Chain A
């Protein structure tokens, strides 16, 4: 069952400070309403993985690893490979995280990031086909959250996209009716760079890239993912608050604009 959870409690004095600043268009850490925290991306650090990326978005830190294997395709898409995105908040990531199977927050996180990547058609699934109907590449992207300080959605998404953009896999050929790995290493077939931008609504103000404190106080959250052409390819409203219809459109415009800025950072880090 989905249920309301007890959360990290923000001191009322701090909350009052936050709201006072927001009215002036500022935030506790000095950022503008539509500014994201410092984003650093490091790739290729896990040699045993086919691809990897360590992302820091402010103090939120996540690591994504790509593993490529071969598998059988789904019966209704015999000519397409498989892509599975998973996310887990490690118990060491925060005082409030516990060991155990993924809870509804982790499941939502994984599924929203997965949709952002999948719907954007970032990975060319048909190029992942080796033998139609029998053998395809299976691309697994697993994300471990190392430190929680808000906005796991964007940090996880940037890590997945960066890891996929720099992932490499062995080329398989069919020889004597058998699928064999060759010595040749090729990049995982990616084309686009989807970028997610998460906004929190506090009172009637939308802020980009909320910290843990801002999330503890927010009424609602919205994550919108855009592609290189400024199209919207995924979106999710979260938390039991609401958005006016005009705020939804405002969020769409902000995510197109800020998404473009973040895309440049990702492209540079994964060139």
Chain B
């Protein structure tokens, strides 16, 4: 069976990118009025909304944790988000992804500052095109900062993988499905600590390291866009520092 080539002789991928190029990314903070914090992200053709409610009272009461906030997370794909309509009921895949997203965000949250409360994170995928969980984590991080939850650092996500035997950055849906490897990574950029890592596909030890380091490098570039989204909402786009004499307003 002839294999479809995902990278041509000039090293160009199906969507025109080179091996180490990210898809176009757009982020905006505070897009939903009711949520305590929210953010919208476009990552290639992924369109994802993240919202945070909390800290708030815990229901049902017996789930309350006495010394910290209860973190809840729901990753959900809209039925129209993929090629073939997806049943709106949570699938096993969505349940697993909800869990790994929660575990990727929790290390950044200082849950002990909000005992006996709940902090709920909702990730809604409106259109999916490969890498939705890392994009969801990136957006959730912004929504949590927007909601004013005490955070040690932001969390940023990016994926890498293997396509046509080559290690590449940020797989789109086609590459994810037809390539031979997918590796979503999320981390806290200032603390340099990995909070999500999943490996799918066959990697030699060498390629494993290459892909992992490529995903981290890509993530740092995504982090710059993430920072800018917060600066845009709260500081008119620029981060400034000023010195004044005491007594000024």
Contact = CB atoms under 8 A, between A and B. Distances in A.
Direct A–B contact present (CB less than 8 angstroms): yes
Interface of A: 1-4, 6, 102, 104-105, 107-108, 110-111, 115, 119-121, 222, 224, 227, 230-245, 247-249, 252-253, 256
B202 A252 contact: no
Given A2-B95, A243-B194, A235 B70 contact: no
Contacts of B72: 1-4
Interface residues of B, number: 43
A108 B95 CA distance: 8
A119 B201 contact: yes
Interface of B: 63, 65, 70-74, 92-93, 95-96, 98-103, 106-107, 120, 183, 187-188, 191-205, 208-209, 212-213, 216
Contact of A236 (B98, B188, B199): B199
A104 B70 CA distance: 16
B200 A3 contact: no
B199 A224 contact: yes
A120 B202 contact: yes
Contacts of A256: 205
Given A2-B74, A231-B203, A245-B187, 14 more contacts: A2-B99, A4-B102, A4-B106, A107-B92, A108-B96, A111-B92, A230-B204, A231-B202, A233-B202, A236-B100, A237-B194, A240-B102, A242-B187, A248-B197
A183 B120 CA distance: 57
A235 B203 CA distance: 11
Closest 6 CB pairs of A and B: A235-B199, A240-B106, A242-B193, A2-B98, A237-B197, A2-B99
Given A242-B194, A249-B212, A227 B202 contact: yes
Contacts of A234: 199-200
A1 B98 contact: yes
Nearest to B109: A240
**Interface core residue of A4, A222, A227, A243 (most chain B CB under 10 Å):** A4
A107 B120 CA distance: 21
A252 B213 CA distance: 14
Contact of A1 (B74, B92, B100, B187): B74
Given A2-B95, A104-B95, A248-B212, A232 B202 contact: yes
Given A1-B74, A3-B63, A107-B92, A236 B204 contact: no
A86 to B, nearest CB: 10
A234 B208 CA distance: 11
A222 B212 CA distance: 14
Contact of A252 (B96, B195, B208): B208
21 contacts: A1-B73, A1-B120, A3-B102, A4-B70, A4-B71, A4-B102, A6-B65, A108-B100, A111-B96, A222-B197, A231-B202, A234-B200, A235-B198, A236-B197, A237-B195, A240-B102, A240-B106, A242-B191, A243-B193, A245-B194, A252-B209
A224 B95 CA distance: 21
Contacts of B200: 115, 119, 234
B102 A233 contact: no
A230 B207 CA distance: 12
Contacts of A107: 92, 95-96, 99
Nearest to A76: B177
A238 B102 contact: no
A245 B65 CA distance: 31
Contact of B73 (A2, A6, A105): A2
Given A4-B65, A104-B96, A107-B92, A239 B103 contact: yes
Contacts of B205: 230-232, 252-253, 256
Contacts of A238: 100, 103
Given A111-B92, A119-B200, A232-B208, A242 B98 contact: no
Contacts of B198: 235-237
Contacts of A115: 200
Contacts of B202: 119-121, 227, 231-233
A237 B96 contact: no
B33 to A, nearest CB: 22
Nearest to B193: A242
A53 B52 CA distance: 45
A107 B101 CA distance: 15
Contacts of B194: 237, 242-245, 247-248
Contacts of B193: 242-244
A234 B200 CA distance: 5
A224 B199 CA distance: 8
Contact of B204 (A6, A108, A120, A231): A231
A102 B191 CA distance: 35
Contacts of B188: 242
Contacts of B65: 4, 6
A233 B209 contact: no
